[in-house]
């Protein structure tokens, strides 16, 4: 979890710096990082606007990209709590917190992992964006330091234990293949959503449903 939060913070530095270098006010990526708290949609929004696209189109694209949070929420409904805790829990939902939470079947440990990672990223992402916006163009391109590769590596490490189950491995491989094939033909972010179609293969023959805990 510390590695995930640290990686998010480092990438946040690059995000804030590149956004400021593109001519946006320094406060804008900080506000977005705090209220939206979804790095992919934020980067997509600023990228579209910086390229001359409509802000409305950028918002729609960000919402489409964030549609992946729907299956996230359905996969871990027990970690959010109730009342105001549920509102906060949904806000801090992200790729890393969901991935880490799903690595343990124990309900108490699952909730603890989700909240620790979610709140950690809710702090590290805006702080990184603020630092990046402050230093301006010192780190304008995340690919220079390889920071763009950090997220995929961490998420791959998190899901590796689950790939020992053949019923899980099948939709993962199909989804990865679909994303690679369609990536050259659709806008950034959409390959992930299209790859969700592979979830249909998760309910094929051989899939077993674990018993409910006593």
CA distance 204 to 197: 13
The structure tokens listed for 207 are 């899939």
- pTM attached to this predicted model: 0.65
Tens of pLDDT, residues 175-212: 888 888 988 887 665 676 677 777 676 655 544 444 44
pLDDT at 150: 54
122-131: average pLDDT: 92
Q: Is the separation of the CB atoms in 15 and 39 below 8 Å?
A: yes
Torsions phi, psi for 103 (to 5 deg)? -80, -10
């Amino acid at each position: 979890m510390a590695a995930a939060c640290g990686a998010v913070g480092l990438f946040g530095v690059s995000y804030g710096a590149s956004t400021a270098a593109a001519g946006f006010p320094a406060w804008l990526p900080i506000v977005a990082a705090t209220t939206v708290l979804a790095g992919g949609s934020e980067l997509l929004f600023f990228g579209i606007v910086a390229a001359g696209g409509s802000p409305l189109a950028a918002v729609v694209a960000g919402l489409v990209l964030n549609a992946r949070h729907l299956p996230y929420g359905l996969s871990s409904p027990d970690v959010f709590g109730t009342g105001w805790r549920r509102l906060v829990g949904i806000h801090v939902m992200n790729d890393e917190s969901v991935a880490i939470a799903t690595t343990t079947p124990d309900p108490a440990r699952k909730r603890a992992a989700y909240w620790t990672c979610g709140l950690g990223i809710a702090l590290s992402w805006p702080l990184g964006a603020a630092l990046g916006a402050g230093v301006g163009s010192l780190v304008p391109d995340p690919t220079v330091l390889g920071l763009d590769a950090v997220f995929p590596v961490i998420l791959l490490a998190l899901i590796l234990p689950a790939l020992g189950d053949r019923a899980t491995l099948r939709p993962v491989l199909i989804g990865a293949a679909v994303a690679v094939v369609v990536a050259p033909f659709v806008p950034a972010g959409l390959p992930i959503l299209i790859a969700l179609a592979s979830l249909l293969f998760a309910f094929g023959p051989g899939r077993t449903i674990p018993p409910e805990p006593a």
